[in-house]
Structure 1
Amino acid sequence: MTKASKLVAAKGGKVLLVRRRIDGRWMFPGGRKQARETAKDCLKREIREELPKLKLGRLRLWKEVTAKNKRSGRKMSDAIFIAKHAKGRLEIGDKKEIDRAVWQKPYGLSLTPTSRYIRDQLFPRKAD
């Protein structure tokens, strides 16, 4: 059973990322599950809290990751969902937790370990 849920939304070659206020690291939006909450319900609640103006299309579970991150040593336990569509203003709802949301290419930023894993799996750099 996963402990958290993450959202992957992409459009126009860019992905939706939020910046954590606590350390300035970027991540795919989402958060920790509450008691008796499904992974999908967790994600929907987190998006309503963090980005209340964002409207999502159908959510599809891409992968459940329960592994140790080789680079950081951190244990990952996340359900990762892909949104078919995402639209609306990126207005921040929970300003204590996140301070910015952007559509951006997922490289050149300081990402959290789980978000780095997601990026490397779904958006690998193309060889020149």
Structure 2
Amino acid sequence: MAKSSKLVAAKKGRVLLVRRRRDKLWMFPGGRKHVGESERNCLRREIREELPKLKLGPLKLWREVKAKNRRSGRKMSDAIFVARKASGPLKIGDKNEIDKAAWRKPRGIRLTPTSRYIRDKLFPR
């Protein structure tokens, strides 16, 4: 089982990203699981916390990533879900953790290592 869950939502050539307040890196929304929580329930909870006005359609598990990041040495353990539909205002719920949310092109911005991996696999050049 993965330790974290991430959401990939795309429309009109842009992906949904949030920016971490502490280091200003962009990432796909999501976060760490609580004990006994499924990956899907983790993602839904994290989205409610981070972007409470966002409405998601059905979620499909794309891949579970368990690897060591070559650059940082960090172990990745993420369940990556794709939402076919995401709508609503990008109002930030947890302002201590996230300072921005936006639909952005997936290239030309500073991403976290896990989000770079997701971008490179799902949105190759």
Q: TM-score, normalised by structure 2?
A: 0.99
Q: Which AA in structure 2 matches 1:104?
A: R
Gaps of 5+ in 1: none
Alignment partner of 2:36: what SS?
coil
Cα drift, residue 72 of structure 1:
2.0
The residue that corresponds to 1:95 in the other structure is 95
Runs of 4+ in 1 over 3 A off after TM superposition: none
Residue 16 of structure 2 is aligned to residue 16 of structure 1 = yes
Deviations 1:39-97 (A, max 9, x none): 00000000000000000000000000000112222110000000010000000000001
Measure the CA separation in 2 of the matches of 1:22 and 1:71: 20
Alignment partner of 1:70: what SS?
coil
Alignment partner of 2:53: what SS?
coil
Alignment partner of 1:111: what SS?
coil
Paired residues for 1:27-42 under 5 Å? 27-42=27-42
Q: Which AA in structure 1 matches 2:16?
A: L
Q: Which AA in structure 2 matches 1:36?
A: G
Paired residues for 1:25-64 under 5 Å? 25-64=25-64
Q: TM-score, normalised by structure 1?
A: 0.96
Paired residues for 1:75-114 under 5 Å? 75-114=75-114
Gaps of 5+ in 2: none
Measure the CA separation in 2 of the matches of 1:120 and 1:57: 24
State the Cα RMSD in Å.
Answer: 0.5
Q: Which AA in structure 2 matches 1:22?
A: R
